[in-house]
């Protein structure tokens, strides 16, 4: 089985957020107490990273005694193996950051200090290890490296930060450097990068401290940059591309932007901006002509016309992360509530909700849905629900 966590985008949808073949079985209303809890896995340590489900295995990272640990469980919650992958972030909001990435029989992790490790996903044995801060003069962000990596063929893309090797492409089988770009010399952003297949090139879209960047994925050439107006928090959300427009949200005081790419991906034409669509790190999703996500400014989830940037409706359900499953939305807010939201064009309706009462620390991890199961990570605990 092959699973790429940061997909090569042809239609702008993150396909791993949908069920393969279970769409007709999805619950359209949850019981008052929430969907059935199938399994609880504890002992993960501190962390905000989401799990990755590949075949019959669950992979997730956590921090214990300042060390990052990659865990592998089967779907019954039995530990298959665990392996250390580097220094865990313990300065502020201690715990694991980026979720692991799986391609075929290899799994990749990034520690809060930017250490990249490749493992055999079946045994947990280490294949290779690289430290871009030490080896390539990388520069970390305030809260530690948090982005997932992107992959294309034999390439692994990573934002190391720093003045010289700001964004790099590595051979994913060996860790050897393929190309390096100084970009704009800023520290790395937190949001996951996006690969876009255009007629003439593959475009890598990512964020640094104060800019959104577009690079040629084959050569590392910086094609364009979009400077953020507010020099505040570093961008955290993954961009979305639908074949017509590229969207990104850069958080409070920067908001959302829609831009049209030139056919060769070398230029941007800004279509609209919306300062109220300003989710900090919850990501956002697209269904047809509408975008959905949280507004930190309004403290609500909202629907936005993707063609104009106009807010169509606001839903009082706090703020947090968002997941698209078979044209239904699952929202996990920072109060620990999980909601099932029905989007109908420009309208959004809260159908059901329940509270997460187990786990530790903040409700920051993004939910994951695979094969009729909903995975909610809350610190030391991973909760798995049936939503079929």
Per residue in 101-134, pLDDT tens?
999 999 999 999 999 999 999 999 999 999 999 9
Q: Is residue 3 part of a domain?
A: no
Q: Provide long-range contacts, Cβ within 8 A and 24+ apart, for 162-166.
A: 162/136, 162/137, 162/138, 162/187, 163/137, 163/139, 164/136, 164/137, 165/132, 165/136, 165/137, 165/138, 166/208
Place of tokens 């809060």: 112
322: Cβ–Cβ under 8 A, 6 or more apart, which residues? 282, 283, 284, 285, 292, 293, 294, 301, 329, 330, 331, 332
Q: Is residue 224 part of a domain?
A: yes
- Confidence at residue 234, expressed as pLDDT on a 0 to 100 scale: 83
Q: Is residue 1 part of a domain?
A: no
Strands (DSSP E) contained in 278-372 are 285-287, 290-295, 300-305, 311-315, 320-325, 328-333, 337-344, 347-355, 368-370
Query: For residues 237 and 257, what is the distance between their CA atoms, to the nearest angstrom?
Result: 12
Q: Is residue 173 part of a domain?
A: yes
Place of tokens 């955290």: 236
Q: Between residues 271 and 327, which one has the greater pLDDT? A: 271
Q: Which domain holds residue 49?
A: 8-386
CA atoms within 13 A on the CB side of 211: 17
Query: For residues 36 and 247, what is the distance between their CA atoms, to the nearest angstrom?
Result: 35
Query: For residues 70 and 240, what is the distance between their CA atoms, to the nearest angstrom?
Result: 28
| Element containing residue 212 per DSSP (H, E) | strand 211-216
Instruction: Residue count of the chain, please give it.
Output: 388
Q: What is the pTM of this model?
A: 0.92
Query: For residues 44 and 381, what is the distance between their CA atoms, to the nearest angstrom?
Result: 6
Q: Is residue 347 part of a domain?
A: yes
Closest CA to 68 of 105, 26, 119: 119
Q: Is residue 87 part of a domain?
A: yes
Q: 40: domain CATH number? A: 2.130.10.10
Task: For 124-171, write each residue's pLDDT tens digit.
Answer: 999 999 999 999 999 888 888 988 899 999 999 999 999 999 999 999
- Confidence at residue 141, expressed as pLDDT on a 0 to 100 scale: 81
3-state secondary structure (DSSP) of residue 127: strand
Provide the β-strand partners of residue 206. 213
Count: domains in the chain: 1
- Confidence at residue 22, expressed as pLDDT on a 0 to 100 scale: 41
90: Cβ–Cβ under 8 A, 6 or more apart, which residues? 63, 66
**163 and 206 Cβ atoms separated by less than 8 Å:** no
| Lowest mean pLDDT across 194-208, 224-238, 278-292 | 224-238
Task: For 42-89, write each residue's pLDDT tens digit.
Answer: 999 999 999 999 999 999 999 999 999 999 999 999 999 999 999 989
Sign of the torsion angle spanned by Cα atoms 83, 175, 160, 217: negative
Provide the β-strand partners of residue 328. 325
17: left (phi over 0), alpha (psi -120 to 50) or beta: alpha
Cα 271 from chain centre: 25
Provide the β-strand partners of residue 257. 248, 273
| Lowest mean pLDDT across 25-34, 72-81, 129-138, 341-350 | 25-34
Within 10 angstroms of residue 140's Cβ, the number of other Cβ atoms is 19
- Over the range 3-29, which residues count as b (16 or more CB within 10 Å of their CB) and which as e? bbbbbebeebbbebbbbeebeeebbee
State what percent of residues in the chain have pLDDT above 90.
84
Provide the β-strand partners of residue 38. none
Would you place residue 26 in the very low, low, confident or very high pLDDT band (cuts 50, 70, 90)? confident
Q: Is residue 69 part of a domain?
A: yes
């Amino acid at each position: 089985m092959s699973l790429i966590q940061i997909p090569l985008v042809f239609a702008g949808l993150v396909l791993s957020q949908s069920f393969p073949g279970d769409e007709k079985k999805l619950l359209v209303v949850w019981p008052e107490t929430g969907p059935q809890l199938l399994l609880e896995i504890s002992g993960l340590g501190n962390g905000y990273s989401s799990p990755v489900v590949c075949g019959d295995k669950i992979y997730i990272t956590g921090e214990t005694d300042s060390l990052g640990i990659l865990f592998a469980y089967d779907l019954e919650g039995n530990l298959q193996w665990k392996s250390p992958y580097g220094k865990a972030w313990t300065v502020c909001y201690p715990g694991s950051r980026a979720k692991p990435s799986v391609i075929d029989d290899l799994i990749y992790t990034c520690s809060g200090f930017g250490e990249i490790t490749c493992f055999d996903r079946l045994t947990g044995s280490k294949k290779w290890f690289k430290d871009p801060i030490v080896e390539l003069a990388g520069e970390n962000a305030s809260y530690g490296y948090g982005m997932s990596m992107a992959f294309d063929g034999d390439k692994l893309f990573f934002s190391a930060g720093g003045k010289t090797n700001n964004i790099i492409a590595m051979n994913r089988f060996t860790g050897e450097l393929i190309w390096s770009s100084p970009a704009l010399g800023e520290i790395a952003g937190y949001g996951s990068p996006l690969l876009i297949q255009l007629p003439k090139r593959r475009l890598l879209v990512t964020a640094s401290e104060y800019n959104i960047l577009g690079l040629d994925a084959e050569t590392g050439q910086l094609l364009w940059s979009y400077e953020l107006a507010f020099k505040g928090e570093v961008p955290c959300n993954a961009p979305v591309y639908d074949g017509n427009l590229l969207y990104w949200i850069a958080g409070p005081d920067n908001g959302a932007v829609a831009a049209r790419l030139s056919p060769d991906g070398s230029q941007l034409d800004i279509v609209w901006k919306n300062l109220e669509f300003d989710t900090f790190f919850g990501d956002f999703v697209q269904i047809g002509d509408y975008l959905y996500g949280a507004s930190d400014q309004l403290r609500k989830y909202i629907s936005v016309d993707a063609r104009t940037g106009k807010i169509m409706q606001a839903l009082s359900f706090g703020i947090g992360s968002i997941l698209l499953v078979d044209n239904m939305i699952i929202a996990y807010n920072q109060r620990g509530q999980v909601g099932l939201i029905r989007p109908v064009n420009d309208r959004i309706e809260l159908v059901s909700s329940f509270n997460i009462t187990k786990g530790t620390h903040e409700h920051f991890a993004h939910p994951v849905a695979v094969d009729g199961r909903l995975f909610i990570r809350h610190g030391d605990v991973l909760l798995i629900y049936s939503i079929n």
